[in-house]
Amino acid sequence: MESLREILEGAARGVFPPPDGTTTVVPQDGPRDAGVLAFTAHTVVFTDEDPEWVYETLAATPSDPLAASMNPYFLHAFMERTGRRTDTVDVMTVAGPLPGEPGPELTRIEDLTHPRVASSMRRRDEVRAWTAAEGGVLVLGRGIGGRLEAAVEVTEGVRHRGLGRRLASAARQLAGGEPVWAQISAGNARSLRAFQAAGYRAVGSEALFVAGR
């Protein structure tokens, strides 16, 4: 059986789990993160819970079987079982690295108490962050399966000028030769458009479960 890391590495290359309507349960990559990844007609649940519980709960979910893994019934049952919480279901996007230097003028943030850095460090390892001279923040860090994840924030007063797209592209230039992932709420159309314009492609959806407060 492939590990979570191997599944994600394959998806970044365009090699996905078989679209056979089944669910694969793999162990968590670490104690912090559990969750559900939904690819085309295939679900990956990463958890240290009993796989039989996962299969039985999915079977009992009042939903089209192909949609059961992201049904509120199953997600709620997952939270109740594990004592974890989740914020939203995100669109998973990924893009390969880019050569060259970042377009926006970036300054490294060394202050680990910076709100955007502190927030990212609760969910990622090896966090690096930069401020853009035009206004905005770019964050890179290691998420589930060790994947390199990007997050972008654009200051209100400089939105609608393409800075989000350029920061998303900058993440690819700072990636050191590996793919970059970005998880975006399905309702955040502005951010989705920015990352798509920067070359990121949607590969599935994700519900990440973290330890409860």
Question: Which of 44-53, 152-161, 189-198 shows the lowest per-residue confidence on average (mean pLDDT)?
Answer: 152-161
Q: Which pLDDT band holds residue 43 (cuts at 50, 70, 90)?
A: very high
Query: Is 93-201 assigned to CATH 3.40.50.150?
Result: no
State yes or no: pLDDT of 116 exceeds 80.
no
Answer with the residue of higher pLDDT: 173 or 113: 173
What was the pLDDT predicted at 158?
A: 66
Q: Which pLDDT band holds residue 110 (cuts at 50, 70, 90)?
A: confident
Predicted confidence (pLDDT) per residue in 145-193, tens digit: 999 999 998 887 667 677 889 999 999 999 999 999 999 999 999 999 9
Token couple for 66: 């192909």
**Residue 6: strand, helix, or coil:** helix
Asked if residues 183 and 120 have their Cβ atoms less than 8 Å apart, the reply is: no
Q: What is the mean pLDDT of residues 12-22?
A: 96
Answer with the residue of higher pLDDT: 75 or 161: 75
Q: Which pLDDT band holds residue 212 (cuts at 50, 70, 90)?
A: low
Q: Distance (Å, rounded) from C-alpha 135 to C-alpha 81?
A: 42
Q: Distance (Å, rounded) from C-alpha 171 to C-alpha 23?
A: 32
What was the pLDDT predicted at 162?
A: 78
Q: Distance (Å, rounded) from C-alpha 162 to C-alpha 158?
A: 9
The kind and range of the H/E element at 5 are helix 4-12
List, by residue range, all CATH 3.40.630.30 domains of the chain.
Answer: 93-201
Bridge-based pairing of strands 42-46 and 22-26 is parallel
Q: What is the mean pLDDT of residues 112-116?
A: 79
pTM: 0.93
What was the pLDDT predicted at 97?
A: 97
What was the pLDDT predicted at 213?
A: 54
Question: Which of 35-44, 78-87, 121-130 shows the lowest per-residue confidence on average (mean pLDDT)?
Answer: 121-130
